[in-house]
Structures are given as C-alpha cells and as structure tokens.
Amino acid sequence: MDGLHQRIRALHVTLWTLIVPPATWASHFLFSYLWAAVHCAKTGHFADEPAVFWTGTGLAAIVIVASGWIALVQARKPGDHPPHNEGTEIDRLRFLAYATLLLAGLSVVGVAFTALPVLFIDNCR
C-alpha cells in the first residue's frame, strides 16, 4: 500500500485530471439515457434486465472514486502554510487536487441521481 501511495504522490495533477470526474459523469449520463431509450423502444420496460446499466454505473463510480482518491493523496502533500502570497508549484498542485476532489464528490452524487430512476421506475410511460 505504501508503494501505491508513493506512486500517486509522484503523479502531477493537471487540468486534464480535473476534467476526469465530470467527464465520467457526463458519459454516464449519456449512456444512461441512451440505454433507457433503446430499452424503452424494444420492450417498453427499462428495468427488466438492468445488469448492463448497473455495470456502467459501477464503472463510472469506480473511475470517479479512484480519481478522487488520487486527488486526496495529492492534496495532502506538505507545503508552506497560509497565507499563500506566492504561487508556488506545490500550492498550484494542491489547489488542482482539492478542486478535483470536490468535483469527484459532486460527480459521484450526479451518477447516483442519474441511476435513481432505474430503482424506482420500471415502466417507460
């Protein structure tokens, strides 16, 4: 486990890492609505066999949680104390990591709310 933490600490959070959680949420949202549309057109019920949907939801959640965990490890890197008057490399890294962590939390909630209709609604009408 220590080796994994060391590898994660060696990573550098960039704007591309910041985009991963909301992009995964958007992809899951698109997948969910396309899956529901196809199932409703074929059978009239989209909750008959939701294994593909729950697999996609699980994969999206795993990607978002992994991204948030990496961001959490990156945000805990030691650096200088506040006030942050100078934009140092470690301060920028921790800011991006913290923003990624917050976006990951929001994205997990978004994926959960996107998946809720499959739990409560079984008819397409």
| pLDDT tens readout for residues 10-51 | 776 778 888 999 999 999 999 998 888 888 888 777 666 788
- DSSP line for 54-104: HHHHHHHHHHHHHHHHHHHHHHT---PPSP--S--HHHHHHHHHHHHHHHH
| pLDDT tens readout for residues 51-86 | 888 999 999 999 999 999 888 888 887 776 666 666
Cβ atoms of 67 and 100 within 8 Å: the answer is yes
Q: Is the pTM of this model over 0.85?
A: no
Residue 27: predicted pLDDT:
96
